[in-house]
Amino acid sequence: MLVVQKFGGTSVGDLQRIQNVANRVSATKKDGHDVVVVVSAMSGETNKLVAYAEHFSVNPAKAEMDMLLSAGERVTASLLAIALSEMGFDSVAMTGRKAGIVTDSDHTKARIENINPQNMQDAIKMGKIVVVAGFQGVNDNGDVTTLGRGGSDLSAVAIAGALKADLCEIYTDVSGIYTTDPRIEPKAKKLDRISYDEMLELASLGAKVLQNRSVEMAKKLNVNLVTRSSFSNEEGTLITKEENIMEAPLVSGIALDKNQARISLMGVKDRPGIASDIFNKLADAGVNVDMIIQNKAHDETTNIDFTVPVSDLHDAKAVVDGFVTRGEVKADSYNKDICKVSVVGVGMKSHVGVAAKAFSAMAQKNININMISTSEIKISMVIDEEYAELAVRSLHAIYELDK
Amino acid sequence: MLVVQKFGGTSVGDLQRIQNVANRVSATKKDGHDVVVVVSAMSGETNKLVAYAEHFSVNPAKAEMDMLLSAGERVTASLLAIALSEMGFDSVAMTGRKAGIVTDSDHTKARIENINPQNMQDAIKMGKIVVVAGFQGVNDNGDVTTLGRGGSDLSAVAIAGALKADLCEIYTDVSGIYTTDPRIEPKAKKLDRISYDEMLELASLGAKVLQNRSVEMAKKLNVNLVTRSSFSNEEGTLITKEENIMEAPLVSGIALDKNQARISLMGVKDRPGIASDIFNKLADAGVNVDMIIQNKAHDETTNIDFTVPVSDLHDAKAVVDGFVTRGEVKADSYNKDICKVSVVGVGMKSHVGVAAKAFSAMAQKNININMISTSEIKISMVIDEEYAELAVRSLHAIYELDK
């Protein structure tokens, strides 16, 4: 079996932890598997370098930032290869360039364009453990680039895809994906398996573990992803394609997003294309609109409600103000004290009454639902923020996720 | 004018010092010159990384060491470029690879094979200040290499040669080359100019400033080298070819080397090739023989005296013991309590009586000369170590170097 193992900053946070990683990697190798390891910078290192740069400039040149920040992962990769060699395991450290990771030129948040895995394949064929510096690649011009937040995960998934690895293990300080946030519902259970699409919808549950970018790439490249803890031997959660999940449960998990604000537009002028106008302008302003609900009012005007991340609220207001000024929207109101709870599960595709159950859970607790949006595998509800935890626990219970 | 400026670890030891370097570089640029800057790692950084590696292995793999150690210079180069950009100077940071530095594959002590200066030239043509990470290059295989001790100086000299720069300034915490060690003779004067060959002979005086490797490369590439302090605006010392030095003084400086041991072989069998045998075997053992003196004794055997660095004494003894065992050498003796004082000056080529003056300086102080060796531009004398400082001061005075 060919396994790609990725270790994040906390997992390689000091020399002892790097040694622990070496022990874990070598155990996999001893079990007869081929291993490619992808590492982040030692925790704190990237922040230190960013602070150095910000000492000189509030807006440092991005190409220079990439040359600066890529140093951290190179250090970890070299050290881990040295540790593995010392333990008697033939190993080789590779930079992103050496590993064949080619990106576009969008410095500090480059996208992987392709991977030429020849060097890695040659090394694997020679029986070597390959240790790759994550988070980095090179553009067509030969300049170092970095992949932005969660970049090392992306490196690992892309490498696993290019090498057609059997498994891509993402090691962090969290043991896997839970049915909901255990800080809200202590009865939350760790999931054994979950589909890519569910994982994407449960983003808030995996926020500390995996970014959607990585899950999307894993889905595209058909990479079996496992998130697990580097501090225990506990099995993690496998994120895979739906077909690999036998007997999918009706509901896999309950996600909560408190970082949403609701914008209500009342008396929107009833002319063709008005909604398109509004949302195009919001998109131009970089506002990330999530849920949208439109109701025709009695007076032939329309009400439009939508949610945006709290951080985009300021920009959204500016756009809406324009329509109010031009008289195309009568009134607008804003509410930051809301949250979104989502029930996610591929099982609900083939079942009826899943949504009804959610609504009755809310009703039992006298929680008012402001907005509803559904997809094939998700029911999202916007409710007042003060009911957030109560709602999560009620939904967790009604779908028997603690069983 | 095109100037290459190299700043060592102490000069970029913290963020404030990097800012100071940015100020100095930008002042040169403002004076209308093109500037290429070569930087070392922040002081302490390379030692830290070496200690990290040694935590895992007493003998870490050299390719991995190069990937590890090259990170330090990349950090400094990026930060300096960011600082310069912030000050309004268009600048670009380059790794050794980007700067076109190609080396052999002798990891951790690679030799520069050639430099393709195209990227640097293009950037200079665009008016940019180029900041190069010193100490590193890439081999034919595309792997990062490092150049060993004094490697950033070598990078600077090689780059200056490839760009046909008018000047290569090496900034350290020392203001230049002195007529002798000021700790021994406080009247020592800083030299304005000195030839490459004198500098090579005065190595001990420049030990903290420049390694012979860099001087040799400067000579080969005809690079005008200046050593000066990054902490003052004092003029430094220009190291250049002899033709550039008008009215060379008779003597430029007095060097002292306490790190020598004398080996005396008595009753060496008088057969053809015996000396060649001895010194070939010493060379095979990696012993660095410096001065050699041979005297025929009255009994038709020969006495051979030579000096080696104290650190090579153990290996040298092992070789000599072989000849004693085989009866080809009657007796051997060793003396570590000696030193070598050297009088260096291109001016002595065309003058007579320079050596006589040195001998009389020794005689005046009743210092016994054990060995003498002369070249066109140097007189070296081996004396008892206890007279070392007295000899240096006497020679400094007799050639009026304090004037």
pLDDT of residue B206: 65
Q: CA A353, CA B347: separation in Å to the nearest integer?
A: 103
Quick check: B123 pLDDT over 90?
A: yes
Compare CB distances from B142 to A52, A74, A98 and report the shortest one's residue.
A98
**Chain A residue whose CA is closest to B78:** A64
Compare CB distances from A60 to B49, B82, B143 and report the shortest one's residue.
B82
Q: CA B218, CA B238: separation in Å to the nearest integer?
A: 12
Contact criterion met (CB below 8 Å) for B389 and B309: no
Mean pLDDT, residues B219-238 taken together: 94
**Chain B residue whose CA is closest to A17:** B56
Interval A20-68: pLDDT, tens:
999 999 999 999 999 999 999 999 999 999 999 999 999 999 999 999 9
Q: CA B286, CA A253: separation in Å to the nearest integer?
A: 70
**B:15-44 residues touching chain A, CB 8 A cutoff:** 15, 18-19, 22
Residue B190: alpha-carbon gap to chain centroid: 17
On whether any CB of chain B is under 8 Å from the CB of A92, the answer is yes
Give the distance from residue B55's alpha carbon to the nearest chain A alpha carbon, in angstroms: 8
Quick check: B140 pLDDT over 80?
A: yes
**Chain A residue whose CA is closest to B84:** A56
Test A78 with B64 for CB contact under 8 angstroms. Answer: yes
Give the distance from residue A48's alpha carbon to the nearest chain B alpha carbon, in angstroms: 11
Give the distance from residue B165's alpha carbon to the nearest chain A alpha carbon, in angstroms: 25
Could you give the angle at which helices A212-221 and A151-162 cross, rounded to 10 degrees?
0
pLDDT of residue B77: 98
Pull the structure tokens for residue A185: 């519902």
Query: How would residue B158 be classed by pLDDT, with cut points 50, 70 and 90?
Result: very high
Query: How would residue B272 be classed by pLDDT, with cut points 50, 70 and 90?
Result: confident
Q: What ipTM was estimated for this complex?
A: 0.82
The CB-side HSE value for B376 (13 A sphere, CA atoms) comes to 5
On whether any CB of chain A is under 8 Å from the CB of B98, the answer is yes
- B31 by Cβ neighbours in 10 Å (0-12 / 13-18 / 19+) ranks as exposed
Give the distance from residue A47's alpha carbon to the nearest chain B alpha carbon, in angstroms: 13
Interval B314-367: pLDDT, tens:
999 999 999 999 999 999 999 999 999 999 998 888 787 888 999 999 999 999
**Chain B residue whose CA is closest to A70:** B71
Q: Are strands B2-7 and A378-384 parallel, antiparallel or unpaired?
A: unpaired
pLDDT of residue B359: 93
| Type of residue numbered A265 | L
Q: Please name the helix (run of DSSP H) or strand (run of DSSP E) that holds residue A17, with its range, or none.
A: helix A15-30
On whether any CB of chain B is under 8 Å from the CB of A86, the answer is yes
Interval B39-59: pLDDT, tens:
999 999 999 999 999 999 999
Quick check: B175 pLDDT over 90?
A: no
Contact criterion met (CB below 8 Å) for B308 and B260: yes
pLDDT of residue B221: 96
Q: CA A16, CA A31: separation in Å to the nearest integer?
A: 23
pLDDT of residue B150: 87
Q: Please name the helix (run of DSSP H) or strand (run of DSSP E) that holds residue A101, with its range, or none.
A: strand A101-103
Exposed e or buried b per residue across B296-309, where buried means at least 16 C-beta atoms within 10 angstroms of its C-beta: eeeeeebbbbbbbe
Give the distance from residue B14's alpha carbon to the nearest chain A alpha carbon, in angstroms: 10
Chain B residues in contact with A18 (beta carbon < 8 A): 56
List all residues 6 or more positions away from B273 whose beta carbon is below 8 Å from its beta carbon: none
Residue ranges in chain A modelled with pLDDT below 50: none
pLDDT of residue A3: 98
Which domains are assigned to chain A? 2-172 (3.40.1160.10)
The CB-side HSE value for A394 (13 A sphere, CA atoms) comes to 18
Give the distance from residue A88's alpha carbon to the nearest chain B alpha carbon, in angstroms: 11
Q: Where are the alpha helices (DSSP H) in B188-233?
A: 196-201, 203-206, 212-221
pLDDT of residue A207: 64
pLDDT of residue A71: 96
Test A74 with B68 for CB contact under 8 angstroms. Answer: yes
**A:125-144 residues touching chain B, CB 8 A cutoff:** 142-144
Contact criterion met (CB below 8 Å) for B92 and B127: no
- A327 by Cβ neighbours in 10 Å (0-12 / 13-18 / 19+) ranks as exposed
pLDDT of residue A359: 93
On whether any CB of chain A is under 8 Å from the CB of B60, the answer is yes
pLDDT of residue A206: 65
Contact criterion met (CB below 8 Å) for B47 and B13: no
Please report where in the chains the tokens 């396994």 appear, as a residue.
A3
Chain B residues in contact with A90 (beta carbon < 8 A): none
Interval A239-250: pLDDT, tens:
999 888 877 778
Q: CA A288, CA A282: separation in Å to the nearest integer?
A: 8
pLDDT of residue B27: 96
Residue of A64, A101, A107, A118 to mutate, interface with B, max B Cβ within 10 Å: A64
Angle at B333 between CA B328 and CA B334, to 5 degrees: 130
- A/B interface, count of CB pairs below 8 Å: 109
Test A82 with B75 for CB contact under 8 angstroms. Answer: no
Mean pLDDT, residues B159-173 taken together: 96
pLDDT of residue A27: 96
Compare CB distances from A79 to B53, B97, B143 and report the shortest one's residue.
B53
Q: CA B222, CA B240: separation in Å to the nearest integer?
A: 8
pLDDT of residue A55: 96
Test A52 with B92 for CB contact under 8 angstroms. Answer: no
pLDDT of residue B49: 96
